[in-house]
Structure 1
Amino acid sequence: MSVWRVVYVRFGRSIVATTAEQRTDAIRSFSVAVPREALDDLGRRLAATRWPSRELVEDRTQGVQLAVLQAVCRYWASGYDVGRVEARLNALPQFVTEIDGVEIHFVHVLSRHEDALPLIMTHGWPGSVMELLDSIGPLTDPTTYGGFAQDAFHVVLPSLPGYGFSAQPAEVGWDLGRTARAWAELMRRLGYTRFVAQGGDVGAGVTDAMGRQAPEGLVGIHTNLLVPALNDPAALPSGTEQERAAQAAITTFQTSGNGYFVEQSTRPQTIGYALLDSPAALAAWMLDHDTDAYYKIARAFLDGQPSDNLTPDRVLDNITTYWLTGTGASAARSYWEAYGADAPAAQNPAPPPDVGVPVGFTTFPGEIWRTPRSWAEQAYSTLDYFHAAARGGHCAAWEEPELFAAELRAAFQPLRAPSR
């Protein structure tokens, strides 16, 4: 396979790229180069932030607390190494390729172990490939992390269209199904004839769609968010205490915790102006996702007590990626595409086909709701792995990369081809 060198530099909305080849299906190597003026501009904007008065409650019920956001921005301006995003990504093999008119960025790390199973893993919102980087080692090199050589994966981490270093779609129609088809094409271009897929949050929606499309080569999926539960939670079993607790958690989320979801699925452009103009507004918007992650991040910045892997530096790696690539608005539009009533996918909805490949599911204790096994079984007739993890939350791969990798090893172990 021929590979060409490509360097992208983004500042605001501008993109400068150099390439030696115009073939649309070419896979080209990629590196990040952030101009000094972009970092200087970030510092100036942080220093010029206009702060609102303090919230009138003692918790997050009015939104991100002033003390938390000021601590985040203070560390961002004076304690955080703004070169981390560039350094961390450039230490890994990165590539871009155009699929269906959009340039897709991805990290592709090969295992040194023979017969490693190819895995494509999709991040969510407010995430990026940055949230998945610490899982690469445990997945590709399991012997270093308490596993066996036969547990290894080749890992492909694409950036969703409109997120991070992938290009922003120039037309509507990039819903979950279209992204799922793009991922199948990506794996085909990489030469993988047998692979598995994993995702959480938005990535769970993409992975669920891949399972229903059942592209050639896909032999199984794993998710850690039960996407079908959001469509009609009342249709799910509610006879046990665990089932009722899960339904109550979804109700709480849909009535008092999903402001970002409603805004992004109905008016993503409106919030996008603030997200590209103010780094403080971007940070606040991204922190205000779910209660468990919010308080873990708050403790990390206020008390210096990070929850396992969720350190201030790693939190800011993710936020900084959004800021430097100017993708706050385009990432928000993905919710309009996937869940908006005015999106093309909503105009003629058809009942989705059943998932035809084996499904693995892990529920984590800090998730927005803890999925009962009965729900996963109703959603997926091909469920063949279910486990309730002891630790972790909504961004499980970010918080607990080793435990997360162990879940994937267990879920996909029956799907591995016999050793040659």
Structure 2
Amino acid sequence: MAHDNDIRPFRLDTPEDAIADLHRRIAATRWPTRELVTDRSQGVQLATVQELARYWTTDYDWRAFETKLNALPQYTTDIDGVTIHFIHVRSQHEDALPLIMTHGWPGSVVELLGVVGPLTDPTAHGGTPEDAFHLVLPSLPGYGFSGEPTELGWDSGRMAQAWAKLMDRLGYPRYVAQGGDVGASVTDALGRQGPEGLLGIHVNLLSGAIGLKDQLPAKSAQERAAYDALDLFTKDGFGYFLEQSTRPQTIGYSLLDSPVGLAAWMLDHDTDSYYKMSRAFVDGEPAGDLTRDTILDNITLYWLTGTGTSAARWYWEFGRFLAAAQAAGQAPPPVAVPVGFTTFPGEIWAAPRSWVEMVYSNVSYFNEADSGGHFAAWEVPELFAAEMRAVFQPLRNA
């Protein structure tokens, strides 16, 4: 008899007719005319999406990704009525530090797979046994292979509470947490909740900057550049955010009906990432691990799980949480554990240290990386793993 706290093995086995249906729908795409500009200012460019569609149906192999994913230990468990899928890779080094990492949108566990080896087996990647982590990679509720919430209230705070329960269920009395994008918001909430056993957090997107935009310093050249980037995002790069935070159900009909529509919507996230992904298809020039195949691994995962709508609903929850917090005029509780932050140069807004210290009063680690963008763990996994070793090293014996 199954119990709510059971941990069940998970294996991906996609029906062949689901892949055939995907190919049929791509072939039946009704294409718009070409954009009237030479950049992405009108949206995802036709040449990019047509080359993506061609590769998707002629060269891409979902079964190869399926084999790759099934080679990792995967599980599901039920938390607060939602089935949570997660990858759980224990290091061969028993003194490894448990780390839960959270992906974002339009990402999934796909964006984190490149760091599994460097983090769990550091001796094979230029590190030492003392650098090892036991790694937990959950799929956010409503994303990928996790179940879809059937009630309101699954915002970042509730997801953070679920992660604390998951780490407790896995038998980890001490652990650290990391996140980017939506994952940064969840990890931030986890730090502010301060569950027993959480030693510290690391984020690589300063999500709190949106609510503090008018208070952020913009005096130095670095601050001004970050402010201009944030301002541009909220005026010109905000389309997906606005739609998903106000009408996720409306866009969801298209995301579940057209694989090409889903792909275009997922590519149209931020300028740096878009051009890197576009070059991967049009020019055959990947940006690190952002290759044609891994990009399509991620998009196909959304398509086959039918999670375009449910994933978008997090933004609706976030929008209402943010509006309520601003109306209340109350500052959130402080993060009670050390906070690490890495600024990657291609991030939507590359936050300077002054901004990070406005959001977090206890910054224990700050670094400006030489490369990488919004999907840093995906794009530059070895560099990202090095950041995890550096930020959490002082906490290993805490």
Relative to the length of structure 1, the TM-score reads 0.93
Let me know the Cα RMSD of the aligned residues. 1.5
Letter in 2 for 1:64: V
Distance 2:70 2:327 in 1: 41
Which residue does 2:72 correspond to in 1?
A: 92
Which residue does 2:351 correspond to in 1?
A: 371
Distance 1:349 1:408 in 2: 34
Which residue does 1:237 correspond to in 2?
A: 217
Distance 1:58 1:260 in 2: 21
Distance 2:65 2:313 in 1: 23
* Residues 69 and 410 of structure 1: CA distance in aligned 2, closer, same or farther (over 3 Å): same
2:236 matches 1:256: yes
Asked whether the 8 Å contact 2:211–2:322 carries over to 1, the reply is: no
- Residue number among 260, 265, 279 corresponding to 1:285 in the alignment: 265
Which residue does 1:302 correspond to in 2?
A: 282
Distance 1:222 1:37 in 2: 41
Local SS of the residue matching 1:362: strand
Which residue does 1:325 correspond to in 2?
A: 305
Q: How many residues align?
A: 398
Which residue does 2:25 correspond to in 1?
A: 45
- Residue number among 89, 94, 105 corresponding to 1:109 in the alignment: 89
Q: Deviations over 1:116-155 (max 9, x none)?
A: 0000000000000011011100000111111111000000
Distance 2:25 2:327 in 1: 41
2:158 matches 1:159: no
Which residue does 2:375 correspond to in 1?
A: 395
* Residues 68 and 284 of structure 1: CA distance in aligned 2, closer, same or farther (over 3 Å): same
Which residue does 2:293 correspond to in 1?
A: 313
Asked whether the 8 Å contact 2:302–2:308 carries over to 1, the reply is: yes
- Residue number among 172, 189, 192 corresponding to 2:169 in the alignment: 189
Which residue does 2:40 correspond to in 1?
A: 60
Letter in 2 for 1:253: F
Per the TM alignment, residue 226 of structure 1 is displaced from its structure 2 partner at its CA by: 0.6
Structure 1 residues 135-174: aligned runs within 5 Å: 135-174=115-154
Per the TM alignment, residue 22 of structure 1 is displaced from its structure 2 partner at its CA by: 2.4
Distance 1:381 1:80 in 2: 46
Local SS of the residue matching 2:243: helix
Which residue does 1:178 correspond to in 2?
A: 158
Structure 1 residues 9-28: aligned runs within 5 Å: 21-28=1-8
Per the TM alignment, residue 114 of structure 1 is displaced from its structure 2 partner at its CA by: 2.8
Structure 1 residues 331-346: aligned runs within 5 Å: 331-340=311-320
Q: Deviations over 1:368-409 (max 9, x none)?
A: 111101111121111010000001000000000000000010
Local SS of the residue matching 2:371: coil
Which residue does 1:414 correspond to in 2?
A: 394
Per the TM alignment, residue 342 of structure 1 is displaced from its structure 2 partner at its CA by: 10
Asked whether the 8 Å contact 1:337–1:344 carries over to 2, the reply is: no
Identical pairs, percent: 65
Q: Deviations over 1:162-217 (max 9, x none)?
A: 00000000011000000000000000000000000000000000000000000010
Which residue does 1:18 correspond to in 2?
A: none
* Residues 302 and 35 of structure 1: CA distance in aligned 2, closer, same or farther (over 3 Å): same
Distance 2:92 2:323 in 1: 43
Asked whether the 8 Å contact 1:85–1:321 carries over to 2, the reply is: no
Which residue does 2:361 correspond to in 1?
A: 381
Which residue does 1:15 correspond to in 2?
A: none
Moved over 4 A (4+): 341-350
Distance 1:328 1:81 in 2: 21
Which residue does 1:16 correspond to in 2?
A: none
Relative to the length of structure 2, the TM-score reads 0.98
Distance 1:289 1:342 in 2: 20
Asked whether the 8 Å contact 2:84–2:138 carries over to 1, the reply is: yes
Q: Deviations over 1:21-68 (max 9, x none)?
A: 421111111111100110000010000000000000000000000000
Distance 2:174 2:41 in 1: 46
Distance 1:195 1:342 in 2: 28
Letter in 1 for 2:46: L
Distance 2:48 2:356 in 1: 36
* Residues 255 and 98 of structure 1: CA distance in aligned 2, closer, same or farther (over 3 Å): same
Asked whether the 8 Å contact 2:339–2:365 carries over to 1, the reply is: yes
Gap runs ≥5 in structure 1? 1-20
Asked whether the 8 Å contact 1:360–1:384 carries over to 2, the reply is: yes
Asked whether the 8 Å contact 1:140–1:154 carries over to 2, the reply is: yes
* Residues 103 and 184 of structure 1: CA distance in aligned 2, closer, same or farther (over 3 Å): same
Q: Which moved more, 1:214-223 or 1:331-340?
A: 331-340
Asked whether the 8 Å contact 1:177–1:206 carries over to 2, the reply is: yes
Distance 2:354 2:123 in 1: 34
Letter in 1 for 2:360: Y
Letter in 1 for 2:132: A
Gap runs ≥5 in structure 2? none
Per the TM alignment, residue 300 of structure 1 is displaced from its structure 2 partner at its CA by: 0.7
